[in-house]
Amino acid sequence: MAGDVTPDPPALEEVPATDEISDADAMAERLAEAGRAKRASDRTRKILAYVVLSLFVVIAIGPAFYLISPAFRDSVSLFTYPPEWIPSEPTLENYRFLFSSTSYVRWAINTLIFAGSTTLLTLVTNSMAGYAFARLRFPGRNVLFFVVLATLMVPVAAVLAPTYLTVNTIGDWPIIGNWIDIDTYLGLILPSAVSPLGVFMMRQFIETLPDGLYEAARLDGAGEWRIFTRIVLPLIKPALVVLGIFVFMLTWASYLWPLVAATDNEFRVLTVGIASLKGQFVTDWGILAAASLLTIVPVTIVFLFFQKWFVQASMAGALKQ
Amino acid sequence: MAEVILRQLTKHFGSVEAVEDVTLRIPDGEFLVLLGPSGCGKSTILRLIAGLEDATRGEILIDGELINFKDPTKRNVAMVFQNYALYPHMTVYKNVAFPLETARMAREEVAEAVQRAAEMLEIEALLKRLPEQLSGGQRQRVALARAIVRQPLVFLMDEPLSNLDAQLRLQTRLELMGLHERLGITTIYVTHDQVEAMTMGQRIAVMRDGRIQQMGDPTEVYDVPANTFVATFLGAPPMNLVGGSLERRNGQTYFRVEGYELAVDPAVSGIAPYVLAEASGEAQLGVRPEHLTLAPPDAEGLPGVVRFLEPVGSDLFVSVMVAGHAVQVRMPPDTRVSTGSDVRLVFDPARSHIFGADSQNLRS
């Protein structure tokens, strides 16, 4: 009976004997085998991942790519059948037409003035407002901040008419009306020069700066303005760049406000200008494509140039003081 | 250089009484240490003097001038923060120069002053670096340089050594003392480290719950603590306290604890006879570990049982249970004693203290 109770000794065969383990060749062989298996499974996984990712790439940049082909073809060849993806006779005719027969250059300059000034002004106003909300103690601060945030929920279209009326009314005032009116640069720029989202973003960023910095600066004799310009602004540079790019791209592509605020061709911006190329009965798609392509290029360059800042700014919270 | 006076200084944060009725006079050139556990209000006093907080009540005077309502930028006090608060985007030079540039000093004068401060703190080689490229000790020096560069009336230091490792802390402590000796600027130094307080302070103010518990030079505070809090806060290991009661018989007062009775003699204990005559009821006997000696069980003394032995090389700390209290005794390292043995604790009554039911030292 006692023999039945005794458990079987463990199967020794499956465990490599000591001398086998110390055998360098056997060990190398085992490692190589395991390595091969791992590499093979890694490869399959990678291929799968690339297939899926490629699909998303096609979805994402497909439409933009679709713009390139017609931009270099004359309009007649656009409607050949079967459709031709790579133009057999590429041409710059569309561009020649854009520059010679439309106000494309004027629109581009206007857009640059519009987007550039809006961006600069937004950075100034939003960083100052953000600083005030983050650092200064004044009555009604929280209520005011809530009001600023609440404007985020108001759709652009809803404030379009009031904004238009405001600017139009100011335009009737003496002296100042010469500068701010419908069909003036200031009238176009000023209503877009503050962004509640930007104020929020600046406030959040400035609040992350340690209190010790402000206190040290105050004891070093610095007033609010000096603290703002010498301590805060340099430290929130990444956030400023991100907000700047954000506002620049949004303004560059904005359509609704410029459409109503700049009716005169002299003040028209690219988006509105391009739309005006679309005829009521006939539309030259080649020219439209060329104009659109040309319009995208500057923002793309700006973005590529500053994209590392995006990463930095989003990392900022993770850094130690 | 200046004399600082705080008069009935009080600061409440909502219902929290951070500082309560603090009155202090810090003579010109003194190095005063505010010592206490975290949350005792010592940092708040610094911030009140600096103007980073407004006092709820009371006055702050520097050189006789009331500065309660003076803007912090104009008080001419310099503060060294616990985390140094260096401007991370500025080089060391710019950091040190910042207060001078803010004061619109001429460029050459700024350069000269920065150079002097840098030499004094031996950071000349670091002037072009950014704070992130410095070690903790170096940052500390830069923070000090920024504080001394504009020759302030008062130095405020808020636990400036607490972020340094032990070795560096020791070294910096000596350097700070040297710096104070050289510059002679009135300094108020906040710390929770009793060793720092004992070694650096010309005077110590021990604080608890927003109030000053005791004020005096380090040996005075150590030798005659005003109450049980000060007695146990200073010293490592702290003063031993044994609970018992005071009894008066035939014109003589006795401190009684289970199995032991100590006759309290006014001449020896330093307690005024009239205080002693009034005292009765619960009391605590306090003796520092270094003033206790182990004796055989048949000797005259506090009876106890040895519980633990802690040899630390230079000394042997013996933990003895006396009437339910653990009592630490400091003995020479070669003392022969074993755990579990009965012993008597012998001490010089002149070095012992009796704390009344209100925890106050009957001597004071």
Span A138-197, pLDDT tens digits: 999 999 999 999 998 888 889 999 999 999 999 999 989 888 888 999 999 999 888 899
Separation in Å, CA of B162 to nearest CA in chain A? 16
A218 chain-B contacts, CB cut-off 8 A: 51-52, 72-73
Q: In a mutagenesis test of the B interface, which of A214, A220, A226 is the best target, namely the one with the most B β-carbons within 10 Å? A: A220
pLDDT of B343 reads: 93
Restricting to B residues 20-59, those with a Cβ less than 8 Å away from any Cβ of A are 50-52
Q: What CA–CA distance (Å, rounded) separates A211 from A218?
A: 11
Cβ count within 10 A of residue B101 = 17
- Residue of chain A with shortest Cα separation from B83: A212
Span A1-46, pLDDT tens digits: 444 455 555 555 555 555 555 678 888 888 999 999 999 999 999 9
Please state the ipTM of this predicted complex: 0.82
Q: What CA–CA distance (Å, rounded) separates B107 from B103?
A: 11
The residue among A316 and B20 whose pLDDT is bigger is B20
Span B192-240, pLDDT tens digits: 999 999 999 999 999 999 999 999 999 999 999 999 999 999 988 999 9
B51 chain-A contacts, CB cut-off 8 A: 218-219
Span B165-191, pLDDT tens digits: 888 888 889 989 999 999 999 999 999
Residues sharing a CB contact under 8 Å with residue B12, sequence separation 6 or more, in sequence order:
B18, B56
**Mean pLDDT along residues B242-253:** 88
Residues sharing a CB contact under 8 Å with residue B1, sequence separation 6 or more, in sequence order:
B28, B29, B153, B184, B185, B186
pLDDT of A71 reads: 83
Span A194-239, pLDDT tens digits: 889 999 999 999 999 998 899 999 999 999 999 999 999 999 988 8
Is cis: bond before B218, omega within 30 of 0? no
pLDDT of A4 reads: 47
pTM > 0.80: no
Exposed/middle/buried for residue A206 (C-beta within 10 Å: 0-12, 13-18, 19+): buried
**Mean pLDDT along residues A297-312:** 79
- Of the partner residues A210, A219, A230, the one whose CB lies closest to the CB of residue B72: A219
B72 chain-A contacts, CB cut-off 8 A: 218-219
User: Angle at Cα A290 formed by Cα A286 and Cα A294, nearest 5°?
Assistant: 170
pLDDT of A298 reads: 82
Tell me, yes or no, if A217 comes closer than 8 A to chain B by beta carbon: yes
Give the three-state DSSP class for B166. Answer: helix
pLDDT of A318 reads: 44
